């Protein structure tokens, strides 16, 4: 777990949105949409990643993971929250940690158009937010919900 904790602390320090770890590979972080390998950290062994998985996956999600080879859950470390996706890829355990910031940025801070705020204040309607991984869909929706 020390390995995971060090990586999570580095992730937060570097302003990364994601941490990717998988068996047989060096860890990666995503900063400003760019994946960066952390070459100074050793590759994760099968035993190490299995130990991490057994410690952080909630019991109810272990059943789901065993049956579908994929599970999503929340994880906290030192008051920081993460959305975790664990899955098997070619029979190797992989995990992605998505950092959930404590402060939700405003629509203005996100440099989104003022019309979006007006739209959010309408009495009815819905939002459809699409785009590639790591480009702010969840952050945009959180900001819109705060506005509402």
120 and 91 both lie in a single domain = no
126 and 96 both lie in a single domain = no
CB 3, CB 43: distance < 8 Å: no
> Token match 């937060």: residue?
12
State the Cα–Cα distance between residues 47 and 50, nearest whole angstrom: 5
87 and 17 both lie in a single domain = yes
140 inside domain: yes
109 inside domain: no
71 and 8 both lie in a single domain = yes
33 inside domain: yes
State the Cα–Cα distance between residues 43 and 27, nearest whole angstrom: 7
Tell me the per-residue pLDDT of 125-140, one tens digit each, with 9 for 90 and over.
887 889 887 678 888 8
What is the domain range of residue 40?
2-100
93 and 125 both lie in a single domain = no
105 inside domain: no
70 and 134 both lie in a single domain = no
Q: How far is CA 69 from the centre of its chain?
A: 18
State the Cα–Cα distance between residues 102 and 110, nearest whole angstrom: 15
Tell me the per-residue pLDDT of 37-85, one tens digit each, with 9 for 90 and over.
999 888 999 999 999 999 999 999 999 999 999 999 999 999 999 999 9
Q: Write down the mean pLDDT value for the chain.
A: 90
pTM of the predicted protein model: 0.80
95 and 138 both lie in a single domain = no
* pLDDT at residue 21, rounded to an integer: 96
């Amino acid at each position: 777990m020390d390995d995971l904790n060090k990586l999570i602390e580095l992730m937060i320090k570097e302003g990364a949105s994601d941490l990717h770890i998988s068996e047989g590979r060096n860890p990666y972080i995503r900063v400003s949409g760019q994946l960066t390998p952390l070459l100074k950290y050793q590759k994760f062994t099968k035993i190490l990643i299995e130990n991490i998985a057994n410690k952080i996956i909630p019991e109810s999600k272990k059943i789901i993971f065993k049956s579908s080879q994929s599970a999503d859950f929340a994880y906290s470390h030192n008051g920081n929250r993460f959305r975790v996706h664990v899955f098997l890829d070619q029979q190797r355990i992989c995990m992605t940690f998505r950092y959930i910031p404590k402060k939700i940025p405003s629509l203005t801070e996100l440099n989104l158009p003022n019309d979006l705020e007006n739209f959010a204040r309408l009495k009815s309607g819905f939002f459809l937010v699409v785009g590639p991984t790591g480009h702010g869909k969840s952050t945009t929706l959180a900001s819109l919900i705060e506005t509402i």
